A = this chain, B = another copy of it.
Amino acid sequence: KAARTLWFLILMSLCLFITVCRASSPQEEEDSAMQNIVTEKRAEESHRQDSADLLIFILLLTLTILTIWLFKHRRFRFLHETGLAMIYGLIVGVILRYAVHVPRDVGTASMGCFVNISPATLLVNISGKFYEYTLKGEISANLVNDVQDNEMLRKVTFDPEVFFNILLPPIIFHAGYSLKRRHFFRNMGSILAYAFVGTVISCFVIGLLMYGCVMLMKQFSQLGGDFFFTDCLFYGAIVSATDPVTVLAIFHELQVDADMYALLFGESVLNDAVAVVLSSSIVAYQPQGDNSHTFEVMALLKSFGMFLGVFSGSFSLGVATGVVTALISFFTKLRDFQLLETALFFLMSWSTFLLAEACGFTGVVAVLFCGITQAHYTFNNLSPESQDRTKQLFELLNFLAENFIFSYMGLTLFTFQNHIFNPMFIVGAFLAVFVGRAANIYPLSFLLNLGRRYKIRSNFQHMMMFAGLRGAMTFALSIRDTATFARQMMFSTNLLVVFFTVWVCGGGTTQMLSCQRIRVGVDSDQDNSVTDGSERRSTKQESAWLFRIWYNFDHNYLKPILTHSGPPLTTTLPPCCGPVARLLTSPQAIENECQLKDDDSDLILTDGDINLSYGDITVSTDAMGAHTNSGRSFSGTATSDDLDRELAYGDHELVMRGTRLVLPMDDSEPPFSDSIRNLRM
């Protein structure tokens, strides 16, 4: 077939290209070395080489895209695109490592220096001319010779900060921006529990287990360097970040149950944020005594304070820029010019990251909450074109960044030069990761189920256990600092953990879903009514008080102030605030309110929840609803939960009727009351 031929052609040309461009470059460099060597020439050469290196990655991504297409075209779901990207990365890594031999580079010189600090900028006087050098980083003394030998492999190695400053932000922002907000907020309590409590549990369980493992290794004298308890905890933190990519892509494709999706997605997204801040807090743990690896209460408290400070700081920065964007798009009529609108949205989202980094908070965390805020408020103010544009833009950036990271992961397995693979540590890590995930999911689910009316069933729990893949965040956190022995061993081990979970757990998702009998093929729109019903009931339970308070506040005050959607403030604020309300309410909100009538699903949800706070009529409709049965069949087993759902399905219509009767109306404003009355009639 033509497509296959094309595919092989590209694969071959890539291999050829790598060999040629890597092999040809030193020859050119020698040529230029024989000439009168000018700095310009060197810089040009280096730029040319950089272009070629970047080109390798781009071709790799192109190849991945073509193969993904082939897989999708044939509905082959055992290997996700990220897994594929890793495989291609591995192949290129092998070629670079073994097939290409580059003679020793002349471009590196070693010199002594008598300043006692390392300056950020170095001016070097070389035979009368001044050259400026910038600091790249410290190199441990025993690697100095390696540096000179393996210049080539080092060149395809990116600055680890690239991941944090360029590649991760779009991924995390996209995760926040594409959160299915309704289901997310419904399950907010459980998600927060999994993300915060769960990650901390997982971190400490893994840390303790690894400390035991390290102790054991010391007994057998298998350990080649220092590995302290803080290192173990750090390892626990970085390996606790689960990846929201691979499994969720499959979930999305198979249209898995929306609550399952929301739980897993919300958990893995927030997880990353917690893990980042947790790991930086652990690094910040520094007792004041001589021995920096003893236990000290003050240092612990400081670390804990730092965790809280950085997390809440990043959170509020993210939310703040989101709100500012919402306000800008609310008060200007920017929606008439989609390009400006999209550009503003993009810039504001990016500035969140920079602002957080400039303030010393964590940009990645800020970007996540900015994404959620943007999706919740700003999105409603955008023109339909910009809504599409921004979604597509971040989808594309996310796709590119993700596949780049995963293919780079494959590459580093062979090109990274300080790998330390220790079999005992690796076995211990795999075990610890497994136990840590179990200690996170099962006990927490048990506790949560005590409070939830709508239980997290055991098959959901097994699925969440299975779906704890490690991905981009774990990798980025591990590669960020590979200076010490402990960090190098962690990095090597984490690579294997990521490979294993992405290939095995990612590849087995479909099997696991059918094995656990989790509903698939649920149309999200069709599903709304079912889940709305059951969820709304669960909001009446104690477990959902958080959601209820938040929802009412958000719907009645924040949404009207920040967006063009939602009810006009004039109806939600108490009558005494009439003038303020009228000032803040845009005419468009009134219009929108009228249009909402057509948009059923939103209206039902919205009004239904207003109900809850103004009257308890839904309690009675619920009781009535228990007698109607829609007879809809589910693919799951007929447990009592399913019965619950079917009942919920019935009361849906009644709530709708109830809503129209009970909605709180404020007729004190003559100019608006007509349109509102029209709406209700």
In the complex, what residues of B have CB within 8 A of residue A400's CB? 343, 346-347
Q: Are A6 and B396 in contact (CB under 8 A)?
A: no
Q: Are A108 and B123 in contact (CB under 8 A)?
A: yes
In the complex, how many angstroms separate the beta carbon of A335 from the nearest chain B beta carbon?
Answer: 10
* Cβ contacts A327-349/B at 8 Å (1 or 0 each): 11001111011011011101110
The distance in angstroms between the C-alpha atoms of A21 and B354, with both chains bound, is: 12
**Cβ of A91 < 8 Å from any Cβ of B?**
no
A51-B357, A120-B107 given; A62·B132 CB < 8 A: no
The distance in angstroms between the C-alpha atoms of A354 and B54, with both chains bound, is: 7
Q: Are B55 and A351 in contact (CB under 8 A)?
A: yes
Q: Are B65 and A343 in contact (CB under 8 A)?
A: yes
Q: Which of A138-146, A212-220, A492-500 lies at the interface with chain B?
A: A138-146
A118-B124, A133-B122 given; A48·B358 CB < 8 A: yes
Q: Are A392 and B395 in contact (CB under 8 A)?
A: no
Q: Which of A121-149 contact B (CB under 8 A)?
A: 121-141, 144, 147-148
* Cβ contacts A48-61/B at 8 Å (1 or 0 each): 11011011001101
Q: Are A122 and B121 in contact (CB under 8 A)?
A: no
**Cβ of A69 < 8 Å from any Cβ of B?**
yes
In the complex, how many angstroms separate the beta carbon of A3 from the nearest chain B beta carbon?
Answer: 5
* Contacting residue for A139 out of B58, B131, B331, B358, CB 8 A: B131
A131-B139, A393-B393 given; A332·B51 CB < 8 A: no
Q: Are A123 and B147 in contact (CB under 8 A)?
A: yes
* Contacting residue for A346 out of B111, B161, B344, B396, CB 8 A: B396
In the complex, how many angstroms separate the beta carbon of A143 from the nearest chain B beta carbon?
Answer: 8
**Cβ of A638 < 8 Å from any Cβ of B?**
no
In the complex, what residues of B have CB within 8 A of residue A126's CB? 113, 115-118
* Contacting residue for A3 out of B120, B331, B347, B389, CB 8 A: B331
**Cβ of A355 < 8 Å from any Cβ of B?**
yes
Q: Are B61 and A347 in contact (CB under 8 A)?
A: yes
In the complex, what residues of B have CB within 8 A of residue A118's CB? 39, 42, 124, 126, 129, 131
Q: Are A111 and B127 in contact (CB under 8 A)?
A: no
Q: Are B135 and A123 in contact (CB under 8 A)?
A: no
**Cβ of A110 < 8 Å from any Cβ of B?**
yes
Q: Are A124 and B130 in contact (CB under 8 A)?
A: no
**Cβ of A574 < 8 Å from any Cβ of B?**
no
* Contacting residue for A144 out of B2, B39, B127, B130, CB 8 A: B130
**Cβ of A360 < 8 Å from any Cβ of B?**
yes
In the complex, how many angstroms separate the beta carbon of A401 from the nearest chain B beta carbon?
Answer: 11
A73-B333, A354-B51 given; A111·B125 CB < 8 A: yes
The distance in angstroms between the C-alpha atoms of A129 and B112, with both chains bound, is: 10
A42-B135, A115-B126, A136-B134 given; A339·B51 CB < 8 A: no
In the complex, how many angstroms separate the beta carbon of A27 from the nearest chain B beta carbon?
Answer: 14
In the complex, what residues of B have CB within 8 A of residue A137's CB? 39, 43, 131-132
Q: Which chain B residue has the least Cβ–Cβ distance from A385?
A: B392
**Cβ of A350 < 8 Å from any Cβ of B?**
yes
Query: Contact residue range for chain A?
Result: 35 or more
Q: Which chain B residue has the least Cβ–Cβ distance from A483?
A: B40
In the complex, what residues of B have CB within 8 A of residue A51's CB? 353-355, 357-358, 363
Q: Which chain B residue has the least Cβ–Cβ distance from A386?
A: B392
Q: Are A337 and B72 in contact (CB under 8 A)?
A: yes
Q: Are A396 and B393 in contact (CB under 8 A)?
A: yes
Q: Are B135 and A136 in contact (CB under 8 A)?
A: no
* Contacting residue for A332 out of B66, B340, B348, CB 8 A: B66
Q: Are B396 and A339 in contact (CB under 8 A)?
A: yes
**Cβ of A680 < 8 Å from any Cβ of B?**
no
* Contacting residue for A340 out of B42, B68, B358, CB 8 A: B68
Q: Are A6 and B65 in contact (CB under 8 A)?
A: no
The distance in angstroms between the C-alpha atoms of A396 and B349, with both chains bound, is: 15
Q: Are B108 and A65 in contact (CB under 8 A)?
A: no
**Cβ of A119 < 8 Å from any Cβ of B?**
yes
**Cβ of A37 < 8 Å from any Cβ of B?**
yes
**Cβ of A230 < 8 Å from any Cβ of B?**
no
Q: Are B133 and A108 in contact (CB under 8 A)?
A: no
In the complex, how many angstroms separate the beta carbon of A351 from the nearest chain B beta carbon?
Answer: 5
* Cβ contacts A359-389/B at 8 Å (1 or 0 each): 0100100000000000000000000000001
16 new A-B contacts at CB < 8 Å, known A39-B137, A112-B124: A43-B137, A51-B353, A65-B334, A65-B343, A69-B334, A69-B340, A111-B122, A118-B131, A122-B133, A128-B141, A130-B138, A130-B139, A130-B141, A131-B139, A339-B395, A346-B396
The contact sample of 22 A-B pairs, CB cut-off 8 A, is A39-B135, A43-B135, A49-B358, A51-B353, A55-B354, A58-B351, A58-B354, A69-B334, A72-B336, A108-B123, A111-B122, A111-B123, A118-B124, A123-B139, A123-B144, A123-B147, A128-B141, A130-B139, A131-B135, A339-B396, A389-B396, A392-B393
Closest 8 CB pairs of A and B: A133-B133, A107-B120, A51-B357, A109-B119, A52-B358, A55-B354, A51-B358, A110-B123
